[in-house]
Amino acid sequence: MDKVQKWAYERRIYDCMKVLEERQYDPIFAKDKDEARKIVMDMIPEGAKIAVGGSVTLNETGILDEIRSDKYNFIDRYNTKSFEEMLDKYREGYYADVFVSSTNAITMQGQLVNIDCTGNRTSQIVFGPKKVIIVAGANKIVENVEEGIKRAKSVAPMNARRITHKTPCATDDNIKCSNCTVQPRVCNVTSICEGSTYFPKRITVVLVPETLGY
């Protein structure tokens, strides 16, 4: 990324952070993905019970590798022997000390917009875990909810392909949403988090002036 693009991302993040603060989120600026990883891990006490949402960003920043350390009680949704066991891990996540995830979009009005398959990520951002940490690149900042939903829908085929869900949008012949009704549909739940006013600062949003995730 050149200096001008990074500057533009930084300006957009600072504007977005003002709105997030007004809505009682805890926004934090990270200069790059390495600093984002350090910020996140410094926030999590040793021994904490941690759940995560499915996220390319957590992989790209190295946060997921850090969470897998023996220092933490990681609810490992990725290491399961059956679908039912995986669902049990999802349910256990509601009792986590910390839930770490990214988001499909952040609006300039301060909303977190997400589209989910099972609903564990969308719902745990809203309620359950004591603390939520969202990590997002500036590429996920949009003007409004409509753009946020459009953005989430546009990357749904890639997410379906990534998690090997055999949906019509993830085939070699098609990469567009067809509003399918197949069992592995990845767009079952849409959530719009309007703020963190009921639980001030429960949701920390770490924003990075880079392109991260889908």
- The residue length of the chain stands at 214
Mean pLDDT of the chain: 94
pLDDT at position 159: 84
Which token pair is 27? 């926004």
User: Rounded mean pLDDT of 182-196?
Assistant: 91
Strands of the chain (E only): list them. 26-29, 49-52, 73-74, 98-101, 105-107, 112-116, 131-137, 141-142, 189-193, 203-208
pLDDT at position 165: 84
User: Rounded mean pLDDT of 46-54?
Assistant: 96
Give percent above pLDDT 90 in the chain.
Answer: 79
Nearest to 155 by CA among 212, 193, 208: 212
Which token pair is 20? 């997030």
The domains located in the chain, with CATH, are 3-109+120-140+194-208 (3.40.50.10420)
Q: Give the pLDDT band of residue 147 (cuts 50, 70, 90).
A: very high
pLDDT digits 0-9 by tens, 1-34: 789 999 999 999 999 999 999 999 999 999 999 9
The Cα–Cα gap between 192 and 141 comes to: 14
pLDDT at position 171: 77
pLDDT surpassing 90 at residue 43:
yes
Q: Would residue 108 be called left, alpha or beta, if left means φ above 0 and alpha means ψ between -120 and 50 degrees?
A: alpha
